[in-house]
Amino acid sequence: MAIAPFLLIHFSKKVVCICMMNPSRILFSIACMFAMLSSGCAQSHLENRLAEKRIEGLTKDAGTNYFLVFGDWGRNGQVDQQDVADWMGVAANQLTAKFVISTGDNFYCCGVASTEDYQWLSSFEQVYRSHSLQIPWYVTLGNHDYQGNVQAQIDYSKKNQRWKMPDRYYTTVRDGIRYIFLDTSPLVKSYYIDSNHGDLVKQDTTKQLHWLDSVLLHSPEKTKIVAGHHPLYSVGNHGGEIDLRILLEKRFEKYHIIYFAGHDHNLQSLQLAGSSVRYIISGGGSEHTPVKTDPLITKFAKSATGFLVVGTSDKELKLYYINKQGQILYKEIITR
């Protein structure tokens, strides 16, 4: 009879027994234990340090619920990721934020290999470690995530309660607002000639669009927010995706959608003349790329790393665009 290898690890005055057949899982567990040990000491220091910081001009209004939006982030805490994460923690603490939306490209360069990939620690758990960020994260998939194991990101929802990705696309309701999370990469034709994007070509895009139509039609909520990775319009390097305009723009116009995207690594607020749709880009989670302002559609555009704070009340959405130094670059109000 084969005997599973085991480890006895002394941790916080307790003996933890790990029994498993796969040595790689043992190594992963060791890494987790050491990460927990080191982060336990660092956590108290972190909270004390962040508690002393505030974002000037960011006010908590009565009757308003807050959430954060950002994307294009997972770089093992490098470049500007940790700075952005720390100020996200400050903002979430200052406003008692309820959840976070990720607009995709969660792990660079090539997604994750499994639910035990070390990047879950180095790019997620150890970076967004503030107590105020231990809230639900509603996650979308980006094109870089498709270069890894997409199913592992879905399955991680079962391992970590704050990681919310029940499927490649899904919907939920929070505080009277309908949130719809799309899987935009399969809707972009250029990826079909690139063999680096895993099972993207296997996705049934017609099924996703029929699902979207059904959700939009049958949702009684007046305000509908859609999040996806790729923008329909952008003044950044990537620009907007024409394929998405063809597939989604009329749908968005019909239901007066507010659309959050990433992909371009900067902060933008766009609206076409005569359009009811607001296009918001928050893709500065770890690095920034240039923007070229188009006066016909640009309300705000900044080549900066940072994130977005959204406050929702019965009558309006209040948006704050915040950089890696914790400064408000721009704020605006969208009437519901």
How many other C-beta atoms are found inside a 10 Å radius of the C-beta of residue 96?
11
Output the average pLDDT for the chain.
91
Strand order in the sheet with 137-139: 163-164, 137-139, 99-102, 65-70, 306-312, 316-323, 328-335
Residue 76 has pLDDT above 90, yes or no: yes
What pLDDT, on a 0 to 100 scale, did the predictor assign at position 14? 40
Helix (H, G, I), strand (E, B) or coil at 180: strand
Question: Over the stretch 304-323, which tens digit does the pLDDT of each residue have?
Answer: 999 999 999 999 999 999 99
Q: Name the E strands within the chain.
A: 6-11, 14-19, 65-70, 99-102, 137-139, 163-164, 170-174, 177-181, 224-227, 258-261, 267-270, 278-282, 298-302, 306-312, 316-323, 328-335
Residue 32 has pLDDT above 60, yes or no: no
**C-alpha to C-alpha distance for 253 and 115, rounded to whole angstroms:** 38
Q: Is the pTM of this model over 0.75?
A: yes
Residue 39 has pLDDT above 80, yes or no: no
Residue type, 304: A
What is each CA distance from 69 to 110, 253, 254, in whole angstroms?
A: 22, 22, 24
What pLDDT, on a 0 to 100 scale, did the predictor assign at position 29? 55
* Across 73-97, average pLDDT: 98
**C-alpha to C-alpha distance for 254 and 276, rounded to whole angstroms:** 9
Question: Over the stretch 192-205, which tens digit does the pLDDT of each residue have?
Answer: 998 888 899 999 99
Decide: 234 and 72 in contact? Cβ < 8 Å: no
Residue 332, both tokens = 């605006």
Residue 275 has pLDDT above 50, yes or no: yes
What pLDDT, on a 0 to 100 scale, did the predictor assign at position 293? 87
What pLDDT band is residue 49 in, cutting at 50, 70 and 90?
A: confident
